[in-house]
Structure 1
Amino acid sequence: MTEIHLKSVRKAYGELEVIHGVDLQVNSGEFCVFVGPSGCGKSTLLRIIAGLEDITSGTIEIDGVVVNTVGAADRGLAMVFQSYALYPHMTVYKNMAFGLENSKMPRAQIDERVRKTAELLQITDYLERRPKALSGGQRQRVAIGRAIVRDPKAFLFDEPLSNLDAELRVTMRKELSALHANIGGTMIYVTHDQVEAMTLADRIVVLQKGIIEQVGAPLDLYNRPCNAFVAGFIGSPRMNMFEGHVTRDGDEMVLNIQGAHLHVPNVPDLKDGDRITMGIRPEHISVHADGSGELNAAVTVSEQLGGDTYVYCDAPGLPQITVHQPGQLPVARGQTLSLSFERAQMHLFGADGKVVANGLPG
């Protein structure tokens, strides 16, 4: 298995710098996911690792060897593209065997690799078909199979599921996870879908504007975001964010967020008058039927999913509030809900967006 190390990697197109001094180590056998909004540099970073883009400065190491001047074909990596990139005039078998034939591998060994991989991916029945006779999910399996037969040092995936419908994406996520468990190997995966990132990754790299904001295990990022950007990007639905300021009240502190004044334990790093953003995830907002909550909000939309209920509410002066309740919560549009916020699950961010507290005492 393979370790990939980026040191102070920068990429500029003329005067426009798009990758700003990235330092990252992808560990051997790790499933590492690059995630971020469109234009954050995640695909550019993947292409730099693949050797499809030159870097402006810095170094790229694969298993301790600097590969800055090594071409894509000689890095020993396999890339799976969003568009599948299959040869339309070739059968599935030929598509998978083509790269091995070019490397002059013995025909018997090629046949063994192709058929073994086809069995692993459950595409044996399609080996004599051409890509146009396959569904999107089947084509993606072929593209992945073409990468596997090469026995690469690492696999690079560039938004491979974005062309599939929602149900098939869920299926393919499970299959990719199982594939990693079966064959091991270092995998780097690019997506804008943070649900894919949460379900697939051993570690997630969150990027914004060519800068790494945070690296960590999925639940570490979910529970302990280092700044407001990561907090708002990781999680679906998004974390609720409320801007306000702090006032001291003896041994307590008050978070003043428009119509609500929330009494919480003192946070040493905050002083009277400091601007803050309070974040709380939808599942950490409680609904009080007896009206004993801290904030009243009017229901605008209710999504009843059977096992879960998502309620979207409005309160004066605040952005829309998203509430998640397990099970079925019968509410009507215009109904007033009494809400409270779990202190242990509150996230506070300073005026600079950096985290001040991930969770407060009760």
Structure 2
Amino acid sequence: MAHLELRGVHKSYGPVHIIHGVDLDIRDGEFVVFVGPSGCGKSTLLRMIAGLEAISAGEVRIDGQVVNDTPAADRGLAMVFQSYALYPHMSVRQNMAFALENMGLPQAEIDKRVARAAAMLRLGDYLERKPKALSGGQRQRVAIGRAIVRDPKIFLFDEPLSNLDAELRVATRKELAALHAEIGGTMVYVTHDQVEAMTLADRIVVLQAGRIEQVGAPLELYNRPANQFVAGFIGSPKMNFFTGAVTQADGAGVTLRLGDRHAVSLPYGAAALPANLGVTLGVRPEHLEVVETGPADIEALITLAEHLGGDTFFTCEAEGLPPITVHQPGQLMRGRGEMLRLRIDAAAAHLFDRDGRILLHGRDALASQAQARAAH
């Protein structure tokens, strides 16, 4: 295990600036996941940590030691790539042992490490098979085993599950989580799949255009996104965003005009927001409650109903608003062409300014209002 530090890391290819001054601490034994859209720089950043890409400026430190000029082979890291990159003419045992043989380890030590990794990854029955006789999930486990036997300071994973089908991805994801719990190694994992990030990470690093947007535990990012980009990237289905303006803000709460026809009142009495301020209201699909009676914030027409047994998803339209996604637990028997009356869960809503910066989180606004009332 090792402590990894990035200090002011930049990467440029000629005049093109790819990574813009990344600062990050990854603690001993931590599982950190880099996420972001394609082209955001997450794989480039991982390759710089590995020593496969030169750093244009800044420092990479492992256990306090600057390793900018240390060759990849001497950094004590192990990398698992998107492609399995197994030697097709070698057995599973030979693939896992190859790097150890090149290191000159005694055969007894090689056998011990291979047997241990095979037991962890449930590969004991496949050690004499060639890669062509394995499934995709088994091949990926061999690639992970090849990293484990080296006993590295840090494990680096570059989208290792992207070549697997949906069922295998779920199964292998669980195996990776169990593996981290067992060996406790420091792991840095790159993916564009935020579901993988949410289920695997101790902390998530959200990247956009070569910059870190937010670092935090999965539920911290989910409940308190730092900006609209993070709010939209984390969560599936994506958060609903409604652009509008503040029409009134006082001790009773905040009233928003969404589109041309929708007025929404939220009980954020302690929020200091000026009238006519342009805002974006963010609400996750599960925080739009379908109500039969009582007040509703939005009335919307169902254009698509997806009944999945344990959950129901609706895509809806409301005049002047973008398409709305609604997630309801259980079985709500509504269909295309029917109207839904929707109430916003104020505690779980978020307000952003027109540049995407966070103005307030609903939970915090309600807590501040409760404190203000208690003080009086």
Same fold (TM over 0.5): yes
Give the aligned partner of residue 254 of structure 2.
253
How far residue 295 of structure 1 moved from its aligned partner, in angstroms, is 1.2
Asked if the contact 2:249/2:272 (under 8 Å) is kept, the reply is: no
Choose which of 271, 279, 282 in structure 1 pairs with 2:282.
279
Q: Are the structure 2 counterparts of residues 122 and 253 from structure 1 closer, same or farther at C-alpha, using a change threshold of 3 Å?
A: same
Deviation at 1:249, TM superposition (A): 5.3
Residue-by-residue CA offset, 1:207-258 (whole Å, 9 max, x unaligned): 0000000000000000000000000000000011001111125433211111
Per-residue deviation at 1:269?
4.2
2:16 corresponds to: 16
Residues 78, 152 of structure 1: 8 Å contact kept: yes
**Distance in 2 (alpha carbons) for counterparts of 1:291 and 1:203:** 40
Question: Residue 332 of structure 1: CA displacement?
Answer: 1.2
Hey, what does 2:4 align to over in structure 1? 4
Structure 1 contact 291–337 (Cα < 8 Å) conserved = no
Q: Indicate which of 354, 359, 363 corresponds to 1:356.
A: 359
TM-score (norm 2): 0.94
Q: Distance in 2 between matches of 1:243 and 1:343?
A: 16
Higher mean alpha-carbon deviation, 244-253 vs 46-55, is at 244-253
Q: For residues 211-230 of structure 1, what are the structure 2 equivalents within 5 Å?
A: 211-230=211-230
| Residue equivalent to 1:316 | 319
Give me the whole-angstrom Cα distance separating, in 1, the residues matched to 2:145 and 2:189: 16
Q: In 2, Cα distance between the equivalents of 1:150 and 1:253?
A: 58
Distance 1:134 1:71 in 2: 33
Percent of residue pairs bearing the same amino acid type: 63
Instruction: Give the distance between the partners of 2:155 and 2:76, measured in 1 at CA.
Output: 9
* 3-state SS of paired residue (1:188): strand
The residue type paired with residue 272 of structure 1 is A
Q: Distance in 2 between the 1:267 and 1:302 partners?
A: 38
Instruction: State the partner residue of 1:296.
Output: 299
Residue matched to 2:75: 75
In structure 1, what is the equivalent of residue 59 of structure 2? 59
2:145 pairs with 1:145: yes
1:124 partner amino acid: G
Partner residue in 1 for 2:264: 262
Aligned-residue offset at 1:108: 1.0
Normalised by the length of structure 1, the TM-score is 0.98
Q: 1:330 to 1:291 in 2, by over 3 A?
A: farther
Aligned to 1:117: 117
CA distance in 2, matches of 1:253, 1:269: 9
CA–CA distance in structure 2, aligned partners of residues 168 and 23 of structure 1 = 34
**Equivalent-residue separation in structure 2 for 1:340 and 1:317 (angstroms):** 17
AA paired with 1:74?
Answer: D
SS class of match (1:156): strand
Task: Give the 3 Å change call, closer, same or farther, for CA 334–291 of structure 1 in structure 2.
Answer: farther
The separation in 2 between residues aligned to 1:346 and 1:250, in whole angstroms, is: 18
The alpha carbon displacement at 1:175 in A equals 0.5
**Aligned AA (2:116):** K
Q: Separation in 1 of the partners of 2:312 and 2:254?
A: 32
Q: Which moved more, 1:11-20 or 1:109-118?
A: 109-118
Cα distance change of structure 1 residues 250 and 203 upon mapping to structure 2, 3 Å threshold:
closer
**Cα contact 2:32–2:202 (8 A) shared by 1:** yes
Say whether the 8 Å CA contact 1:291–1:338 is kept in structure 2.
no
